Amino acid sequence: MTPPIEIRGGIELPAITEHIELQTSDGLTLVGELATPVGRAPIATLVTLHPLPTAGGFMDSHILRKAANRLPALADLAVLRFNTRGTSSPRGTSDGDFGHGLTERADVAAAMAFVAERYLPNPWLVGWSFGTELALKYGLEHPIRGAILLSPPLHSTSNDELAAWAGNERALVAVIPEFDDYLRPDAARLRFASVPDLRLVAVEGGKHLWVGENLSRRVLTEIVATVNPGALPLPTEWATPPPVAS
């Protein structure tokens, strides 16, 4: 029998992976990918919003890629990734130009329209860095279950936009690295004070880019703890299927 393999790095667990295109209200085509569980319906959907494209962020930024590679199999989640306008990755380049978080409002809307068209269940926005600004600014315009913020810098989200999440039925979770470059846990508690229902997770030893397998696993665990806690703990090994008898 083939021994189990360790789940780490760029391992790709079984999933149905589909190249997709999103159409924005201002006439752009955005490239993306949808990963869903094999042989069963997803429990929930992660709509991921990548880090700043002018600083190297794109749909394959490693935490988002690992979510797509692992969580359909480990947690019965659908994972939607896409390049916002003007962003390139091995999947391709989305139309348009970087809009500094303003015209990307239509990109978020296009992703949510796709979720509705496909009847993907229980959508959550998962933003990382720049993607958290899009989630905070535009998430409440859509029928989401909530938003998960990874390393939020809170550079462009206004106080009013942040306070709008207070008392809202949509959940808000912020995963804050201890050594973040922009917003560390103590400062985050002050900035998010207007949202008393926020769940703030301070990650010891974490940095903005979540480099290293231990931090990747911690972030994926916090996502699953929010969206499908029954799937925890996430396994660290995957049993490969036995060979087919001839």
What does the pLDDT look like over 137-157, one tens digit per residue?
Answer: 999 999 999 999 999 999 999
Q: pLDDT tens across 19-34, in order? A: 999 999 999 999 999 9
Q: What is the mean pLDDT of the chain?
A: 96
Q: What was the pLDDT predicted at 242?
A: 47
Q: Which two tokens stand for residue 26?
A: 């201002």
Q: How far apart are CA 14 and CA 21, in angstroms?
A: 22
Residue found under tokens 């290293």: 212
What is this structure's pTM?
0.96
Helix (H, G, I), strand (E, B) or coil at 168: coil
What domains can be seen in the chain, in order of their start residue? 11-228 (3.40.50.1820)
Q: How far apart are CA 11 and CA 28, in angstroms?
A: 32
Q: How many residues does the chain have?
A: 246
Cis peptide before 243 (omega within 30 of 0): no
Q: How far apart are CA 81 and CA 46, in angstroms?
A: 8
Query: How large is the average pLDDT for residues 186-206?
Result: 97
Phi and psi, residue 34, nearest 5°: -120, 125
Q: How far apart are CA 113 and CA 183, in angstroms?
A: 31
Q: How far apart are CA 244 and CA 246, in angstroms?
A: 6
Query: How large is the average pLDDT for residues 201-205?
Result: 98
Q: Whose CA is closest to 60, among 17, 89, 22?
A: 89
Could you tell me what percent of the chain has a pLDDT over 90?
Answer: 95
- Strands 146-150 and 123-128, bridge-based pairing: parallel
Phi and psi, residue 224, nearest 5°: -65, -35
Q: What was the pLDDT predicted at 3?
A: 85
**Residue 175 class from Cβ within 10 Å (0-12 exposed, 13-18 middle, 19+ buried)?**
buried
Q: What was the pLDDT predicted at 219?
A: 98
CB 132 within 8 A of CB 150: yes
Res. 1 pLDDT band, cuts 50 70 90: low
Please list the residues that pair with 173 across neighbouring strands.
148, 199
